[in-house]
Structures are given as structure tokens and as C-alpha cells.
Amino acid sequence: MGLASEKEPTNAELLEALANRDAHARWVARAFIKAECFRVSIEQIIREAPRGRQAIWASLAMLSMFNVASPNSRAPGLLRIQREMSLDTASTLDRGTYVLAAMEMARVGDSALLKEVAQWNLTADELASMHPDCVRITRVSKEVRAALKEANCAWAGLSAKEVRDMENQNALLVEH
């Protein structure tokens, strides 16, 4: 995605960037959408997203940009994630994307999927590009921290102690 070019990216290019395996590319796409929110509609991008990975990542982008601390259970991004996870497409997702979708669902009280994926033996490679998103969601959500503590897992790249320590941190003052 050539955000530095004079050509504005299309919604299809934004969808591709939002679902990129590179965390920096995803961040750049989210930053562009947020900066251009009066001209670029994340809700339209979510509606246009094909089933599967791109739909999940567009929805994750919306939730990370506009529902930072407390997502609305009726937010279009969350509703699309829930719909995608209830379809056959959930089984086609890579495990890292599945984990992030489960984390977002746990933010609004539906922690069943997160408890399930917390039992998976995920490798560092599977979560490498998801790590920044896992940390961000864990840091801002007491519901996710509670579910991770209950499952006593460290696959999100965080030890149980680090998850507990987040309870006492101001997420706005922590250097990333």
C-alpha cells in the first residue's frame, strides 16, 4: 500500500493492508483511516470485506481505533467478528487471527472462545506478527486479563505475572 504516494489507497488496498502479516503495515493502514475518517469509512470497509481474514482484520482495526477501552457490543466491527466466527470461515483462519478475534469477543463478556484458544499450544512464530495486538488488547481490557489469568496461559507473549501487573498500570502512560 503506497500511503506515501499521491494516489489515495482504495478500500481493497486498505483491506489488504489491514490484514497484512506485518504489524507495522497494519498500523500504517489504521493510522491512515483514522486520519482520513471524514473521507474513509471504516464501516463501509467492514461491509465490503470478503468473508474470513480480511473481514476479521478490518473489524479488529475499527475496534482498536474507536472502541479502545470499552467496545460497544453493538459495534459493527464486533458484530462482524461474531458473525465470521459463527460461520465456516472461522475454521479457515490462521490461529493468530482466531486468537485476536477471541480476545475482542472476550472484551464484551463472551470469553468462551478465549478460554478455548488459551489451551492451544501456540508457537512464537504463530503469534509473532500478532504480538503487538495481543498486548494492546490485554492492556486495555480487564475482561481479557481476567480470562487469561483464569486460563493461566502465557502464549500471548506475556507471562501470568505481566498480565497481573497490567492491572496496576495506566495504559496511557506505558511505553510500547
User: What is the average per-residue pLDDT within 83-100?
Assistant: 82
Write 107-110 long-range contacts (CB < 8 A, 24+): 107/63, 107/70, 107/71, 107/137, 107/141, 107/143, 107/144, 108/71, 108/73, 108/78, 108/143, 109/73, 109/143, 110/82
Residue 74 has pLDDT above 90, yes or no: no
Residue 34 sits in which domain range?
A: 7-93
117 or 17, which is more confident: 17
Residue 53 is predicted with a pLDDT of: 87
Residue 29 is predicted with a pLDDT of: 93
Q: Say yes or no: 23 and 54 in one domain.
A: yes
Angle between helices 131-140 and 142-151 (to 10 degrees): 110
Q: Is residue 74 part of a domain?
A: yes
Three-class DSSP labels, 93-161: CCHHHHHHHHHHHHHCCCCHHHHHHCCCCCCHHHHCCCHHHHHHHHHHCHHHHHHHHHHCCCCCCCCHH
Q: Say yes or no: 13 and 87 in one domain.
A: yes
The region of weakest confidence among 20-24, 132-136, 169-173 is 169-173
How many folded domains does the chain comprise? 2
Q: Residue 166, class by beta-carbon neighbours within 10 Å (0-12 exposed, 13-18 middle, 19+ buried)?
A: buried
Q: Which of 93, 120, 151 delimits the end of a domain?
A: 93
pLDDT band at 98 (very low <50, low <70, confident <90, very high): confident
- pTM of the shown model: 0.77
Provide the greatest CA pair distance for the chain: 49
Cα(108)–Cα(77) distance, rounded to whole angstroms?
Answer: 12
Per-residue pLDDT reduced to its tens digit, 2-52: 455 568 899 999 999 999 989 899 999 999 988 887 888 888 888 889 988
Q: Which of 96, 99, 103 is nearest to 78 (CA)?
A: 103
Residue 14 is predicted with a pLDDT of: 93
User: Percentage of residues in the chain with pLDDT exceeding 90?
Assistant: 11
Q: Which of 68, 93, 118 delimits the end of a domain?
A: 93
